[in-house]
């Protein structure tokens, strides 16, 4: 298990100088876990050095029972390509967009007022939350999508996609007050995906984990 980061505060940002033609440049091959044959994501530090691999599903709030064993996807005989949006096991399409990174901040202290704590104890309101930079999360340039999520993407139906993904998330992320926060994070992330989406998409097929791209946007320089 990778170390559990308690309640990371996230702020999404896009790397600078993102231009639409960036989407046609070669993209490094994604890493998959040799053991469970599922996608991995990376976290890196301030120097750009990879500090951790984690299962893509974990990044989306699901749990895993083993440590990732990173391997290039083309070296995995029969990779299980899950939908990067709703985690359904049967992704059908690969989309490309600008790489998006998220700075996660670790909460180091929650400050409550003394009087408030004495009267309300654990229900005391948090006056201030101190955080420190924990890691930078790369979401990658390739997003796999199941047919249901792809329908929302093709229609540029942002809220439909957010609703579909939130419904598929673990209850701990969508219960009560968490729902608003989770939907906000999805909105930020998917807005950037939509804004930088490459015009074509690849169809995932057996032996083609990176997708078959019939309308290559490669005509551009
Ligand atoms: Zn695994
Ligand atoms: Zn999906």
- Which numbered ligand comes closest to the C-alpha of 54? 1
- Which numbered ligand comes closest to the C-alpha of 55? 1
| pLDDT tens track for 58-104 | 877 778 899 999 999 889 988 999 999 998 988 999 998 887 777 76
User: Would you list the domain boundaries of the chain?
Assistant: 9-219
CA of 65 to the centre of ligand 1 (A): 8
CA of 54 to the centre of ligand 1 (A): 8
CA of 56 to the centre of ligand 1 (A): 9
Strands annotated E in the chain: 9-13, 31-33, 40-44, 50-55, 70-72, 93-96, 101-112, 126-138, 142-145, 202-205, 208-212
Q: Which residue has the tokens 């209850």?
A: 171
Q: What share of the chain is helix, strand, coil (3-state, %, to 5)?
A: 30, 30, 40
Spatial distance between the Cα atoms of 193 and 174, rounded to a whole number of angstroms: 22
Phi, psi of 103 (to 5 degrees): -85, 120
pLDDT exceeds cutoff 80 at 203: yes
CB neighbours of 169 closer than 8 A, spacing ≥ 6? 60, 61, 182
Task: Evaluate whether 215 touches 155 at the Cβ level (below 8 Å).
Answer: no
Q: So what's the ipTM on this one?
A: 0.93
Counting beta carbons within 10 angstroms of the beta carbon of residue 16, is it exposed (0 to 12), middle (13 to 18) or buried (19 or more)? exposed
Residues surrounding ion ligand 2 at CB below 5 Å: 83, 85-86, 88, 146, 149
CA of 127 to the centre of ligand 1 (A): 40
When pLDDT is averaged across residues 9-14 and rounded to a whole number, the result is 51
Spatial distance between the Cα atoms of 154 and 90, rounded to a whole number of angstroms: 18
Q: What is the reported pLDDT for 107?
A: 63
Three-class DSSP labels, 124-153: CCEEEEEEEEEEEEECCCEEEECHHHHHHH
CB neighbours of 123 closer than 8 A, spacing ≥ 6? none
Spatial distance between the Cα atoms of 171 and 114, rounded to a whole number of angstroms: 32
CA of 122 to the centre of ligand 2 (A): 38
When pLDDT is averaged across residues 171-175 and rounded to a whole number, the result is 88
Q: Which residue has the tokens 């709703």?
A: 86
When pLDDT is averaged across residues 158-183 and rounded to a whole number, the result is 92
- Which numbered ligand comes closest to the C-alpha of 67? 1
Lowest mean pLDDT among 104-113, 157-166, 193-202, 203-212: 104-113
Quickly state the pLDDT bin for 112 (edges 50, 70, 90).
low
CA of 119 to the centre of ligand 2 (A): 46
- Which numbered ligand comes closest to the C-alpha of 37? 1
CB atoms inside a 10 Å sphere around CB 83: 25
**Rounded percentage of the chain residues whose pLDDT exceeds 90:** 34
CA of 151 to the centre of ligand 2 (A): 9
When pLDDT is averaged across residues 213-219 and rounded to a whole number, the result is 60
């Amino acid at each position: 298990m990778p170390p559990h980061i308690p309640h990371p505060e996230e702020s999404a940002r896009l790397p600078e100088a993102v231009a639409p033609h960036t989407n046609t440049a070669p993209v490094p091959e994604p890493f998959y876990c040799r053991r469970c044959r599922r996608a991995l994501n990376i976290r890196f530090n301030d120097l750009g050095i990879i500090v951790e691999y984690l299962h893509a599903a974990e990044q989306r709030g699901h749990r895993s029972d083993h440590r990732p064993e990173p391997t290039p996807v083309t070296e995995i005989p029969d990779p299980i390509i899950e939908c990067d949006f709703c985690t359904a096991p049967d992704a059908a399409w690969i989309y490309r967009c600008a790489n998006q990174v998220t700075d996660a901040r670790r909460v180091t202290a929650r400050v409550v007022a003394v009087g408030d704590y004495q009267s309300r104890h654990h229900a005391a309101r948090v006056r201030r939350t101190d955080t420190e930079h924990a890691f930078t999360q790369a979401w990658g340039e390739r997003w796999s999508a199941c047919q249901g999520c792809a329908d929302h993407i093709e229609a540029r139906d942002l809220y439909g996609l957010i609703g579909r993904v939130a419904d598929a998330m673990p209850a701990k992320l969508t219960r009560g007050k968490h729902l608003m926060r989770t939907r906000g994070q999805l909105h930020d992330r998917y807005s950037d995906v939509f804004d930088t989406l490459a015009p074509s998409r690849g169809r995932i097929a057996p032996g083609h984990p990176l997708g078959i791209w019939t309308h290559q946007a490669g005509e551009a320089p």
